[in-house]
A and B are shown apart, each in its own frame.
Chain A
């Protein structure tokens, strides 16, 4: 069984350190009844720690799953700017 962290390590990224292309609203996430994003996101960008939702955009593969998974209105979703983000070599 390969850990997701190891899998994400196979992907090449050009991370935009200035601009998080996805943001979440902590206040909304705190009240979320399901945190489905944690299950749905294939890149483990959403995790729960002691019941609190943590989000990182650096590992995002820009699939858009979370923008649909979140039905609470917490996720603000944009594509990264100017070629930043995931760069597939195989695809």
Chain B
């Protein structure tokens, strides 16, 4: 705290702010991927930037799956692959279904991933402080351990932040405060969070030696594996799960839609992760491992419908705080969306400064820029994806159908074999829904996915 008081220019909160020169060109709230990317972008362009985070060291409250796709990061930190504290580059991606007794997985291992090493497993408490350090090196003032109490608002314009009775002012405040954006909500810049736009992520980091990980998952010293599952085997709950390899640990966890949890109403989120870990195809993979850290985090999964107004007079919303994350059940991404939003917000602030205009009209360029990237395009393209990810048949009926077909085809039981056509026909006839209904439903999924 002493550090904070000594380092930042401040004015007494009772004084009027209008008419003064702001303390900073921009204040960034939150040193996650979005906030640090924005701070790096702005500071590199010579702007006067303050980056605050409520954790000390910055990033120590951040948690994600997490696999980082570094395409955007490379734009601002070209040497990230050699300098950043990364775990393993992913060259093996698995996606699939878990039923009660089976796992049905596509195991995709490819030289394409190996050539550019663009996806890496990361541990955020190690990775995020590095990104904040890069913001400092670029010239931003980084102050950790600051919980901003509220936004300073005058004449319907965000003019700064308030903390411990002090007001620190800026031309623009970039709200990169994460999935639970208290400041933005309290200031009415976005609506309170709702069940339909959230999942609860519960995670464990399980220590396992590098040797064991490499042997068990058929990996080299640097390569890694990332799996994502659709899980219909945990009671009557339909959830997602992930399993990633780090250097000397496994990151695994479950992603439970809040609506599912409420509908179910009888299962503890912390028990669900145990059920996932004890699945017959998961348990052997973590055999002998020790849980070294448990954690949990909300995940924005509301899609384009829950993306709020991204900017206004003197402010912008970034990353998770703006609902910028992607999920279609098999792909779950957020960090890359956060980084690209940070870069575009930073560029927009630099342009606004050149015009010396920080009104909503001037900051609108942020949305234009973001709209030209995959970040907003994906959310628009997949606007109906929740009809797929919320479809209970995706978790139970179809995996069971697949399981039935595979059992009939691959399991020798000393019975006369059947033609594929008959295998599928019989498996389909055992479904709890009619064939026509199932086909219509599958077509709907195909169209939206």
Contacts and interface: CB of A to CB of B under 8 A. Distances in A.
Interface of A: 1-2, 4, 7-8, 10-11, 34, 36, 38-44, 61-65, 67-69, 77-83, 85-91
A88 B60 contact: yes
B268 interface: yes
8 contacts: A8-B294, A36-B261, A43-B296, A63-B297, A64-B179, A64-B180, A65-B258, A83-B56
B63 interface: yes
Contacts of B54: 79-80, 82-83
The A interface, classified by DSSP as helix, strand, loop or mixed, is loop
Interface stretch (B118-126, B379-387, B422-430): B118-126
Contact of B200 (A8, A34, A63, A82): A63
The B interface, classified by DSSP as helix, strand, loop or mixed, is mixed
A87 B144 CA distance: 12
7 tightest A-B contacts by CB?
A: A91-B125, A64-B180, A91-B124, A83-B145, A42-B296, A83-B56, A7-B294
A10 B267 CA distance: 22
Contacts of B274: 1-2
B61 A39 contact: no
A88 to B, nearest CB: 4
A10 B291 contact: yes
Given A1-B278, A67-B193, A82-B1, A91 B268 contact: no
B193 A88 contact: no
Interface residues of B, number: 54
Contacts of B60: 86-89, 91
Contacts of B179: 64
Contacts, number: 136
Contacts of A89: 60, 125, 293
Interface of B: 1, 54-56, 59-64, 123-128, 144-147, 179-180, 182, 193-195, 198, 200, 202, 204-205, 249, 251, 258, 261-262, 264-271, 274, 278, 291-298
Contacts of B198: 68
Nearest to B148: A79
A91 B298 contact: no
Given A11-B293, A40-B262, A63-B200, 12 more contacts: A39-B268, A42-B270, A44-B268, A64-B179, A64-B298, A68-B195, A68-B298, A80-B147, A83-B54, A87-B61, A88-B125, A90-B123
Contacts of B127: 91
A82 B145 contact: yes
A63 to B, nearest CB: 5
Nearest to B1: A82
Contacts of A44: 268, 270
Which of B55, B56, B193, B266 lies at the interface centre, i.e. has the most chain A CB atoms within 10 A of its CB?
Answer: B55
A50 B193 CA distance: 31
A1 B274 CA distance: 6
A83 B294 contact: no
Contacts of B200: 40, 42, 63, 65
